[in-house]
Every structure is written in C-alpha cells, then in structure tokens.
Amino acid sequence: MVSVVSSRILFHTPQPLDNLDSGSSVRPAKLIDAFEQIGYNVDKVIGDTKERRQRIQEIQQSDRDYLFCYSEPTTWPVHPLIDYRLYWYLQSKNIPTGVFYRDILWKFPELFDHSGLKYWEAQVRYRMDLAVISRIADQIYVPSSTLGEYLNINSPIKPLPPGGTDQVATNDSTLQLERVIYVGGLSGRYSSGLLSKACKLAANEQNVTLDLVCREPEYQSLPNSVRQRFKSDWVTVHHKSGEALNDLYQRADAGIIPFKPTQYNNMVMPVKLFEYLSYGLPIITTNIKEVSEFVQSNSCGVVSDSNYKDLANKIILLSNDEELYQERRENAVLTLRQNRWIDRAEQVASDLIPQ
C-alpha cells in the first residue's frame, strides 16, 4: 500500500452521486470510498454544472497542492465550459491526472440512441473530449484492453476494470448451486431471451431457480412472449438497486452474464461481474471476450457458447458437480480479494504519484 499520510487528491466526475442505480454512478462513488479507505483526503468536484463551476472556482482560488487528480466522466460528453476549465487548470499546475474513459458506444451507430442533428452534435463533442483528454491526461484508463484499442490515440492507456467489496462472509448460500442471480438490463444487447430459455431448461432438469433483478419499465417493455417465460415458479422478478440487493446476493449461489458476443459486448467488463464476486459467487457467462477470458484465467466460473442449450448445460453442470462448484466458488473468493475497489485505487495512486 502507498504511504498517504496527510495527502490530498482531487476527484472529478460530472454528475451527482446521490442515486447509485447505474454503473456510471456506482463506480466513482466506490472509488471515492476506496481512496479514503487507503488514507487520502479527497477533494471532490461532483454534482450538476452549477455545483461543479463553483467548486472549480474554489479550487483555483485556494491554489491547493494535490498529489494527483482522478477524473471519471460519464457516458455523455463533459461540459466544455466547466470541465475543460478544470482539465486545463490541472495541466497548468502540473498536477498528475488520470482520466477513466468509460465507453465508446458513440462509435457504434447501430447502438447509439440518437439520430439527426443530435447524433452529429454528440459525435463532435465526443471527439473534442477525446482530443482534450489525450492532451491533458498523464494516464488514460479504460474498462478493458479491447476497448482501449478502439480509441486510436497515442497516449498511455491502461485497463482499470471495476472492483468489488469483500462481502464473502455475509453469503449464506448452500454448498451447491440452487439459486442463480442476474442483475442488469434486459434489452436485446443483454439477451433476455437467451437468459429466459437457458434458465427454464435448467430448471426443468435441476432444482435451479433464478432471481431476476431489473428496472420495472424495461421489464414491462419486453415482448410479451419473453415476459411470459419469466412468469413461472422457477423465477422471481425484483425491481431493486443499491443496498436493497444485498439480501438477494447473500442467498445466491452463482451470478450469470448472458450477453451475446457482439463486437461491442466483447469489450465490456460490467460492474455486475465484480458485484457477483464480492459475495463469492462463481460466474456463469457466455463467451464474450473480456469477461470470459477473465473468468477462465481465474477459474472462477464457467463459460458457455452463446446459445441457450449450452448455457443451460453449464448451469446444470455446476448444479450437478458439487466438487466443481466448490472449486469455482473458492476461486471466486480468491479472485475477489485481488480485484477490490481499494486495489483499483492503489493502482491509480501508484501510476500517478511520481516515484
């Protein structure tokens, strides 16, 4: 651990952190806690545009010394008249700066939820952000190596995936797989059809149930045929987030990630992966590149082909083979303890503090 006695850092994210219902808000909130846990005094530039403008003015007027700044923009471009002002200030003061570049959905027109003038405005702003960040950042972080390859910039780039919080001791699941949990989206990209068919087939073969956690509007927008598959005694649907999920994680035996292996999905490292690991849950995932390679390299779960029969077979395998299940569960705990949020914070500090 880095020695950080009486050390002050700056943390920037252009959003309020009052409602932690998405990865884009959970991640910075967890990292702020992690920096404080390892001993840093954290000055924060967060909130809406008015709050950030005022905070940046205070920072400039105080001219306080900072060991480094860590910045986490959201999936939307930052404000050029406010957040750029902070970036240029950091550069002028030679404050080492790391910026986490979260997402490149804007490079996939078929997935990007804008069109017309709004689409082209966003494209210009995303490119401006990337140009500014590549100029002011001493280190650019990305969720995965694969995503970093899409940036096409000559700047230091390093993976900084999400992390977990050790909650293993709170898990009261059984010694075999009986209950699977899925937390997340249900749109086509997340393959709710694959999830429902696989879990239904596994439930017919074994005593396996599913806790499905999602936003209610997204669940209601599913095709009726998919919702009908989820209306059965092998699945319980929950509309919860944040700490309300703790009880569900504590009684789960494995976490599932049923994504289709598309060009975009192959680069993701979802927060839910590390939330599952936080409770010592083995991972059942389809063969999306970054997640499956992580699971295989750590032997902390099983990987299936991207069809519902093989995904069901992997669930059944872990349910039938208690020895394999226990091995994967033990490895999930070991993997978590090398991939906590405080490990990510220590990595950033090691990268940005001059040696």
Q: What pLDDT, in 10s, does the model give residues 63-116?
A: 899 999 999 999 999 999 999 999 999 999 999 999 999 999 899 888 777 778
Beta carbons of 10 and 60 less than 8 angstroms apart: no
Question: In one letter, which amino acid is 13?
Answer: T
Minimum mean pLDDT among 43-47, 126-130, 150-154: which range? 150-154
Question: How remote is the C-alpha of 108 from its chain's centroid?
Answer: 19
Residues 80 and 21 in one domain: yes
**Full 3-state SS string of 66-93:** CCCEEECCCCCCCCCCCHHHHHHHHHHC
**CATH at residue 175:** 3.40.50.2000
Task: Mark residue 179 as left, alpha or beta (left: phi above 0; alpha: psi -120 to 50; beta: remaining).
Answer: beta
pLDDT band for position 24 (cuts 50, 70, 90)? low
Task: Produce one character per residue of 313-332: b if its CB has 16 or more CB atoms within 10 Å, e if not.
Answer: bbbbbbbeeeeebeebbebb
pLDDT band for position 201 (cuts 50, 70, 90)? very high
Does 4 or 291 have the greater pLDDT score?
Answer: 291
Minimum mean pLDDT among 86-90, 152-156, 322-326: which range? 152-156
Residues 190 and 260 in one domain: yes
Can you tell me the distance from the alpha carbon of 284 to that of 324, in angstroms, rounded to the nearest whole number? 13
State residue 22's pLDDT score: 56
Q: What is the pTM of this model?
A: 0.92
Residues 195 and 296 in one domain: yes
pLDDT band for position 2 (cuts 50, 70, 90)? very low
Residues 201 and 288 in one domain: yes
Q: What is the mean pLDDT of residues 172-182?
A: 87
Whether the per-residue pLDDT at 45 is higher than 50: the answer is yes
State residue 5's pLDDT score: 45
Q: Is residue 122 part of a domain?
A: yes
Can you tell me the distance from the alpha carbon of 170 to that of 282, in angstroms, rounded to the nearest whole number? 15
Can you tell me the distance from the alpha carbon of 192 to that of 230, in angstroms, rounded to the nearest whole number? 10
Q: What is the mean pLDDT of residues 296-302?
A: 98
Q: Is residue 187 part of a domain?
A: yes
Q: Is residue 136 part of a domain?
A: yes
State residue 3's pLDDT score: 45
Strand order in the sheet with 157-159: 40-45, 7-12, 69-71, 97-100, 139-142, 157-159
Q: What is the DSSP string of 196-252?
A: HHHHHHHHHHSS-EEEEE--HHHHHTS-HHHHHHHSSTTEEEE---GGGGHHHHHH-
Residues 25 and 75 in one domain: yes
Residues 215 and 308 in one domain: yes
Q: Is residue 218 part of a domain?
A: yes
Q: Hunting for tokens 């390299």 — which residue is that?
A: 297
Can you tell me the distance from the alpha carbon of 302 to that of 354, in angstroms, rounded to the nearest whole number? 40
Can you tell me the distance from the alpha carbon of 183 to that of 310, in angstroms, rounded to the nearest whole number? 21
Minimum mean pLDDT among 55-69, 106-120, 246-260, 287-301: which range? 106-120
State residue 40's pLDDT score: 97
Report residue 118: phi and psi, to 5°: -60, -40
Q: Is residue 266 part of a domain?
A: yes
pLDDT band for position 247 (cuts 50, 70, 90)? very high
Whether the per-residue pLDDT at 57 is higher than 60: the answer is yes
Domain coverage including residue 331: 168-336
**Average per-residue pLDDT in the chain?**
92
State residue 67's pLDDT score: 96
Residues in CB range of 310: below 8 A, 6 or more apart: 304
Report residue 335: phi and psi, to 5°: -65, -45
Q: Is residue 1 part of a domain?
A: no
Residues 193 and 317 in one domain: yes
Domains contained in the chain, number? 2
Residues 35 and 91 in one domain: yes
* Both structure tokens of 105: 């959905």
Residues 327 and 191 in one domain: yes
Q: Is residue 2 part of a domain?
A: no
User: What count of other Cβ atoms lies within 10 Å of the Cβ of residue 121?
Assistant: 12
Q: Is residue 108 part of a domain?
A: yes
Please choose, from the candidates 197, 321, 157, the residue with its C-alpha nearest in 3D space to the C-alpha of residue 254. 321
Percent of the chain with pLDDT over 90: 76
Residues 130 and 221 in one domain: no
Residues 286 and 174 in one domain: yes
Output the CA torsion 341→343→345→348 (10° steps). -140
Residues 16 and 96 in one domain: yes
Whether the per-residue pLDDT at 1 is higher than 50: the answer is no
Can you tell me the distance from the alpha carbon of 210 to that of 258, in angstroms, rounded to the nearest whole number? 13
Q: What is the mean pLDDT of residues 21-33?
A: 81
